[in-house]
């Protein structure tokens, strides 16, 4: 059977709300409107006002309320209509949620999920098109999850809700409607993925493509194109950015000796930069047969007009080109 | 001397309320002694902290509560089991009242192992099971407090969350965001503005278009309270708790008080106000001497009894000081503890790749046990 990312998220929420009395969802338009992107569709009808709570447009306020509720023992799922709006609330995410466990020497833990679409959508210009992965992955105390497909979405969201720490869960609006084949196991209510483990989406011996979220789709595209010219690319879906599963990258590099990172966000100090730094500093450096390259969004705010927007984002061909450069293929 | 004695407090000012707390209050001997002692402990503890700071035994920030004791002690007296508290950075007194010892507070200030959080939080970050800190970001505690109240309501608990902020933080947008939702959802939260006259060095008239803080919740009813009178504070808080727990939603309490010290230790507190002003408050409105005079006059305590009590308080603080200045600090392994709850040991990147290590201990409790300190 197939499952869209949206339905996978919805299933995960539904199952976890049913499973644990302490779990509730709050955010803008999550209840009566059925979710701005319909991720919470039907949940209000099913669970009512206590568990599915519409908030006013007041991100810092409701994020703070959610964090306070988590400190007091509930398990909120705090939806941001998009992560662009979470910038209004980032103090509560970092200073209140991420740091309290440490500051309190383990006395107060904060079991909360901040979730919503992240990264560039389509045709919504600069203020609504930004990838915050590197921002949140920067901060100790947070766990940062970035699902790619329906399996990831379901298993990781359930893991996030069951986790006893603040989790930032970065979805991608463009992927919401995309159907993916899933096994019966994924559809079961016991399906939970481990946090901190990457997945090899496609194995190959010649070059490693490390990516997350929408970047995985681009990487798989590129891997198919590379296959046509005889290059077997290994595609790693990070799934979790913090804690980063560097071991999976290390093992892959030992085999391929070539590495490219792929993401749609800005290049400066991004996730790829961190992966590269870790490669440089570790024994992986000796495994490299070529410099490591990053494929990223262009270093500009997102323009509106379609040809410009397309030009601002990485395409599969960028990955193919860099793979050829890495492998010295003309 | 026994039995209840009646006192009259200063009048309350009400906002959007038909009736309010009573100005006629009663007090028995046990409570009189108890409140006096609590206020004295806080006063002494804070002067000890001030001295430690001057001796450079406390690092960074240190915000003292001296002058405001009646607020915390009065509110605490009205609390019942299950009530919760959150405040900003002026948190030493509350930490003590809500279950920590003077030693744990002072040792936290000096960063020692016997500190409230073993030296990982410092002056602004102390906690107890009903106390959520100790928050360093001015105003962030306002929605957090509403969230704690949200959890109380969610669990159908008949309790309130006392959410404190100063006159400075009364201008934060977060307060209005939190108040809106608290009213919308009838959360049992008491937004308590401890108005000590100054946000750092900015007098209320220079920061606030309206200094009638009890009216500034607009649709949230409010009460002005003489925050220098422990009995008025206790009465108002009792009344407010009943109001909240009747399902009527939040209230704003505006407690008029005064801070004797500067904003923090680096502020002499004299460039934006006069020494005469401080002296005048000490003379005419001090929460402790005022209360002392009243209970002696009323026959609830004698001068001698209170002197004995003062001695006892001095001993408590002196003993605490000994620990706070001699106890060990956490070993450096504590750097790597308390990052994630119920999570397997993580590799933690050190200053260099060569110092990147798996967490030696998951949390401080584990570490303290290992070194025989817990």
Q: What does the pLDDT look like over A115-165, one tens digit per residue?
A: 999 999 999 999 999 999 999 999 999 999 999 999 999 999 999 999 999
Mean pLDDT of chain B: 97
In this structure, the answer to whether residues A122 and A261 fall within a common structural domain is: no
| Phi-psi region at A34: left, alpha or beta (left = phi > 0; alpha = psi -120 to 50) | left
The continuous run of DSSP H or E covering B224 comes out as strand B222-226
Kindly determine whether residue A55 and residue B363, on different chains, have CB atoms separated by under 8 Å. Answer: no
In this structure, the answer to whether residues A318 and A240 fall within a common structural domain is: yes
- Nearest CA distance, B320 vs chain A (angstrom): 21
Q: Does B132 touch chain A (CB under 8 A)?
A: yes
Q: Does B255 touch chain A (CB under 8 A)?
A: no
Whether A186 contacts A3, CB under 8 Å:
yes
Residues from chain B contacting residue A61 (CB–CB below 8 Å): 143, 146, 174, 177-178, 180-181
Q: Does B127 touch chain A (CB under 8 A)?
A: yes
Q: Helix (H, G, I), strand (E, B), or coil: what is residue A8?
A: helix
Contacts by residues A128-132 (CB-CB < 8 Å, ≥ 24 positions apart): A128/A82, A128/A84, A128/A302, A129/A84, A129/A302, A129/A309, A130/A83, A130/A84, A130/A265, A130/A266, A130/A302, A131/A170, A131/A263, A131/A264, A131/A265, A131/A266, A131/A297, A132/A83, A132/A86, A132/A87, A132/A170, A132/A265
Q: Does B345 touch chain A (CB under 8 A)?
A: no
Residues from chain B contacting residue A70 (CB–CB below 8 Å): 147
The DSSP result for A60-98, as a single string, is: HHHHHHHHHHHHTT-EEEEE-SSHHHHGGGHHIIIIIII
Which of A56, A102, A104 lies nearest to residue B339, judging by beta carbons? A102
In this structure, the answer to whether residues A212 and A300 fall within a common structural domain is: yes
Which of B84, B140, B173 lies nearest to residue A92, judging by beta carbons? B140
Instruction: List helix spans (H) across chain A.
Output: 5-19, 43-47, 59-71, 83-86, 90-91, 100-103, 133-137, 150-162, 184-187, 214-228, 246-256, 271-281, 306-312, 316-327
User: Strands, E, within A113-183: which ranges?
Assistant: 113-117, 143-145, 167-171, 179-181
Residues from chain A contacting residue B342 (CB–CB below 8 Å): 109, 163-165
In this structure, the answer to whether residues B362 and B240 fall within a common structural domain is: no
% of chain A with per-residue pLDDT over 70:
100
The DSSP result for B12-74, as a single string, is: PEEES-S----SEEEE-HHHHHHHHHHHHHHHHHHHHHHHHHHTT-S-S-----TT-HHHHHH
Domain-terminating residue out of A160, A187, A214 = A187
Whether A203 contacts A234, CB under 8 Å:
yes
In this structure, the answer to whether residues B212 and B342 fall within a common structural domain is: no
Kindly determine whether residue A91 and residue B137, on different chains, have CB atoms separated by under 8 Å. Answer: yes
The two tokens of residue B38 are: 């609590």
Burial class for B162, CB neighbours closer than 10 Å (0-12, 13-18, 19+):
buried
Nearest to B192 by CA among B253, B258, B142, B257: B253
Question: What is the CA A150 to chain-centroid distance, rounded?
Answer: 12
Residues B119 and B121: their CA atoms lie apart, in Å, by 6
Cα Rg for chain A, rounded, in angstroms? 20
- Whole-complex ipTM: 0.97
Range of the domain at A10: 2-187
Pairing state between β A23-27 and A199-202: unpaired
Q: Which residue of B has its CA nearest to A99?
A: B339
In this structure, the answer to whether residues B189 and B307 fall within a common structural domain is: yes
In this structure, the answer to whether residues A204 and A266 fall within a common structural domain is: yes
Q: Helix (H, G, I), strand (E, B), or coil: what is residue B212?
A: coil
Determine the average pLDDT of the residues in A238-250: 98
Question: What is the CA A186 to chain-centroid distance, rounded?
Answer: 18
Whether B53 contacts B66, CB under 8 Å:
no
Nearest to A280 by CA among B349, B348, B346, B353: B353
In this structure, the answer to whether residues A176 and A113 fall within a common structural domain is: yes
Kindly determine whether residue A60 and residue B177, on different chains, have CB atoms separated by under 8 Å. Answer: yes
A293-295 sheet: strands from edge to edge = A199-202, A233-237, A207-211, A259-262, A293-295
% of chain A with per-residue pLDDT over 90:
100
% of chain B with per-residue pLDDT over 90:
97
In this structure, the answer to whether residues A183 and A76 fall within a common structural domain is: yes
Distances (CA, A) of A134 to A90, A118, A265: 13, 12, 8
Kindly determine whether residue B151 and residue A69, on different chains, have CB atoms separated by under 8 Å. Answer: yes
Whether A322 contacts A293, CB under 8 Å:
yes
Mean pLDDT of chain A: 98
Range of the domain at B353: 332-370
pLDDT at B84: 98
Kindly determine whether residue A103 and residue B117, on different chains, have CB atoms separated by under 8 Å. Answer: yes
In this structure, the answer to whether residues A207 and A149 fall within a common structural domain is: no
User: B 171-190 residues with CB below 8 A of A?
Assistant: 173-174, 177-178, 180-181, 184
Q: Helix (H, G, I), strand (E, B), or coil: what is residue B234?
A: helix
**Does A309 map to a domain?**
yes
Q: Tens digit of pLDDT for each residue in B57-70?
A: 999 999 999 999 99
Whether A285 contacts A254, CB under 8 Å:
no
Q: Quick one: pLDDT band at residue B3, thresholds 50, 70, 90?
A: confident
**Does A192 map to a domain?**
no
Determine the average pLDDT of the residues in A49-65: 98
Q: Is the peptide bond before A243 cis (omega within 30 degrees of 0)?
A: yes
Residues from chain A contacting residue B142 (CB–CB below 8 Å): 64
Residues from chain A contacting residue B149 (CB–CB below 8 Å): 68
Which of A70, A105, A109 lies nearest to residue B364, judging by beta carbons? A105
In this structure, the answer to whether residues A6 and A55 fall within a common structural domain is: yes
Which of A61, A70, A74 lies nearest to residue B143, judging by beta carbons? A61
Q: Euclidean distance between the first and final Cα of chain A, in Å?
A: 41
Pairing state between β B202-203 and A293-295: unpaired
Question: What CATH number does the domain containing A253 carry?
Answer: 3.40.50.920
Domain-terminating residue out of A138, A165, A187 = A187
In this structure, the answer to whether residues B223 and B346 fall within a common structural domain is: no
Residues B87 and B324: their CA atoms lie apart, in Å, by 24
**Does A194 map to a domain?**
no
Residues A322 and A314: their CA atoms lie apart, in Å, by 12
In this structure, the answer to whether residues B193 and B101 fall within a common structural domain is: yes
Q: Helix (H, G, I), strand (E, B), or coil: what is residue A211?
A: strand
Q: Tens digit of pLDDT for each residue in B178-208?
A: 999 999 999 999 999 999 999 999 999 999 9
- Nearest CA distance, B46 vs chain A (angstrom): 21
In this structure, the answer to whether residues B231 and B363 fall within a common structural domain is: no
Q: Other C-beta atoms within 10 Å of A163: how many? A: 21
Any idea what DSSP says for residue A130?
B
In this structure, the answer to whether residues B350 and B272 fall within a common structural domain is: no
Nearest to A208 by CA among A275, A257, A147: A257
Catalytic residues of A: 59, 128
CB pairs under 8 A between A and B: 151
Question: What CATH number does the domain containing A146 carry?
Answer: 3.40.50.970
Q: Does B169 touch chain A (CB under 8 A)?
A: no
Residues from chain B contacting residue A73 (CB–CB below 8 Å): 151
Kindly determine whether residue A67 and residue B117, on different chains, have CB atoms separated by under 8 Å. Answer: no
Total domain count, chain A = 2
Kindly determine whether residue B150 and residue A106, on different chains, have CB atoms separated by under 8 Å. Answer: no
Q: Which residue of A has its CA nearest to B86?
A: A68
Report whether pLDDT(B1) > 60.
no
pLDDT at B2: 58
Determine the average pLDDT of the residues in B273-279: 94
Kindly determine whether residue B150 and residue A74, on different chains, have CB atoms separated by under 8 Å. Answer: yes
Whether A278 contacts A247, CB under 8 Å:
no
Residue among B177, B217, B361 with most chain A CBs within 10 A, to mutate: B177
Residues A54 and A65: their CA atoms lie apart, in Å, by 13
**Does A87 map to a domain?**
yes
Phi, psi angles (nearest 5°) of residue A209: -110, 115
In this structure, the answer to whether residues B48 and B128 fall within a common structural domain is: yes
pLDDT at B119: 97
pLDDT at A150: 98
For chain A, list residues whose CB is within 8 angstroms of any CB belonging to chain B.
24, 50, 55-56, 58, 60-74, 91-92, 95-96, 100-109, 111, 140-141, 143, 163-165, 243, 281-282
Determine the average pLDDT of the residues in B243-253: 97
In this structure, the answer to whether residues B320 and B341 fall within a common structural domain is: no
Total domain count, chain B = 2
In this structure, the answer to whether residues B82 and B231 fall within a common structural domain is: yes
Residues B183 and A61: their CA atoms lie apart, in Å, by 13
Contacts by residues A180-186 (CB-CB < 8 Å, ≥ 24 positions apart): A180/A2, A180/A3, A180/A4, A180/A5, A180/A149, A180/A150, A180/A151, A181/A1, A181/A2, A182/A1, A182/A2, A182/A3, A182/A8, A182/A150, A182/A151, A182/A154, A183/A151, A184/A1, A186/A3, A186/A8, A186/A150, A186/A151, A186/A154, A186/A155
Nearest to B89 by CA among B345, B320, B264: B264
In this structure, the answer to whether residues A142 and A48 fall within a common structural domain is: yes
Residues A3 and B263: their CA atoms lie apart, in Å, by 58
Kindly determine whether residue A105 and residue B353, on different chains, have CB atoms separated by under 8 Å. Answer: no
Residues from chain A contacting residue B338 (CB–CB below 8 Å): 101-102, 104-106
The two tokens of residue A315 are: 């395409």
The continuous run of DSSP H or E covering B280 comes out as helix B275-284
Q: Does B121 touch chain A (CB under 8 A)?
A: yes
Any idea what DSSP says for residue A197?
-
Determine the average pLDDT of the residues in B300-328: 98
**Does A220 map to a domain?**
yes
Maximum separation of any 2 CA atoms in chain A, in Å = 62
Residues A169 and A147: their CA atoms lie apart, in Å, by 8
Question: What CATH number does the domain containing B15 carry?
Answer: 3.40.50.970
Give the angle subtended at the CA of A42 by the CAs of A16 and A169, to the nearest 5°: 45
Any idea what DSSP says for residue A233?
E
Determine the average pLDDT of the residues in A64-78: 98
In this structure, the answer to whether residues A151 and A253 fall within a common structural domain is: no
In this structure, the answer to whether residues B148 and B242 fall within a common structural domain is: yes
Whether A326 contacts A261, CB under 8 Å:
no
pLDDT at B374: 85
């Amino acid at each position: 059977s197939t499952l869209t990312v949206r339905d996978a998220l919805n299933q995960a929420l539904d199952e976890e709300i049913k499973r644990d009395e302490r779990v509730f969802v709050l955010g803008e338009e999550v209840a009566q409107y059925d979710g701005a992107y319909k991720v919470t569709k039907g949940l209000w009808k099913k669970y009512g006002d206590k568990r599915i709570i519409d908030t006013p447009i007041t991100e810092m306020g409701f994020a703070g309320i959610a964090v306070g509720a988590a400190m007091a023992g509930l398990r909120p799922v705090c939806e941001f209509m998009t992560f662009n709006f979470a910038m209004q609330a980032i103090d509560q995410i970092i200073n209140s949620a991420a740091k309290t466990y440490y500051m309190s020497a383990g006395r107060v833990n904060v079991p909360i999920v901040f979730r919503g679409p992240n990264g560039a959508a389509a045709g919504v210009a600069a203020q609504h098109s930004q990838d915050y992965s590197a921002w949140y992955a920067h901060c100790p105390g947070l766990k940062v999850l970035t699902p790619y497909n329906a399996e990831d979405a379901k298993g990781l969201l359930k893991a996030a809700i069951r986790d006893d720490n603040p989790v930032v869960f970065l979805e991608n609006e463009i992927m919401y409607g995309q159907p993916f084949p899933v096994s019966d196991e994924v559809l079961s209510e016991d399906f939970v993925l481990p946090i901190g483990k990457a997945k090899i989406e496609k194995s190959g011996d010649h070059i490693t493509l490390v990516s997350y979220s929408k970047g995985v789709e681009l990487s798989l595209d590129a891997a198919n194109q590379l296959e046509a010219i005889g290059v077997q690319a290994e595609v790693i879906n990070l799934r979790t950015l913090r804690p980063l599963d560097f071991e999976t990258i290390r093992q892959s590099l030992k085999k391929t000796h070539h590495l490219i990172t792929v993401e749609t966000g800005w290049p400066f100090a991004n996730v790829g930069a961190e992966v590269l730094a870790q490669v440089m500093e570790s024994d992986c450096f000796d495994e490299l047969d070529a410099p490591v390259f990053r494929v990223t969004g262009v270093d500009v705010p997102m323009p509106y007009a379609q040809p410009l927007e397309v030009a601002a984002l990485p395409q599969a061909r960028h990955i193919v080109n860099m793979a050829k450069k890495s492998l010295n293929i003309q | 001397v026994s039995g209840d004695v009646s006192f009259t407090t200063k009048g309350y000012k009400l906002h959007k309320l038909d009736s309010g707390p009573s100005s006629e209050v009663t007090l028995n001997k046990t409570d009189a002694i108890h409140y006096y002692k609590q206020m004295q402990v806080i006063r002494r503890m804070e002067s000890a902290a001030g001295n430690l700071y001057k001796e450079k035994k406390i690092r960074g920030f240190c915000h003292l509560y001296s002058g405001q004791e009646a607020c915390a002690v009065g509110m605490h007296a009205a609390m019942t089991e299950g009530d919760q508290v959150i405040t900003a950075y002026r948190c030493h007194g509350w930490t003590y009242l809500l279950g920590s010892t003077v030693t744990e507070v002072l040792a936290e200030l000096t960063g020692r192992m016997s500190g409230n959080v073993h030296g990982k939080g410092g002056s602004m970050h102390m906690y107890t099971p009903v106390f959520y800190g100790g928050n360093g970001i001015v105003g962030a505690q306002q929605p957090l407090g509403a969230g704690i109240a949200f959890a109380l309501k969610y669990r159908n608990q008949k309790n309130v969350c006392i959410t404190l902020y100063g006159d400075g933080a009364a201008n934060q947008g977060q307060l209005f965001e939190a108040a809106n939702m608290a009213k919308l959802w009838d959360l049992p939260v008491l937004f308590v503005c401890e108005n000590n006259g100054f946000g750092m060095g900015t007098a209320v008239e220079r920061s606030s278009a309206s200094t009638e803080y009890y009216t500034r919740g607009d649709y949230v009813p409010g009460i002005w309270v003489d925050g220098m009178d422990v009995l008025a504070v206790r009465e108002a808080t009792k009344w407010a708790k009943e109001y909240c727990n009747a399902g009527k939603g939040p209230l704003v309490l505006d407690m008029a008080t005064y801070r004797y010290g500067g904003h923090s230790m680096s502020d002499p507190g004299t460039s934006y106000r006069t020494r005469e002003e401080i002296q005048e408050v000490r003379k005419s409105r001090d929460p402790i001497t005022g209360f002392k005079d009243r209970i002696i006059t009323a026959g609830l305590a004698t001068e001698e009894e209170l002197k004995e009590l003062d001695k006892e308080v001095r001993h408590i603080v002196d003993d605490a000081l000994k620990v706070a200045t001699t106890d060990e600090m956490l070993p450096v392994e504590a750097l790597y503890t308390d990052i994630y709850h119920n999570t397997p040991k993580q590799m933690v990147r050190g200053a260099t790749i060569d110092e990147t290590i798996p967490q030696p201990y998951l949390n401080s409790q584990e570490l303290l046990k290992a070194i025989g300190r817990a």
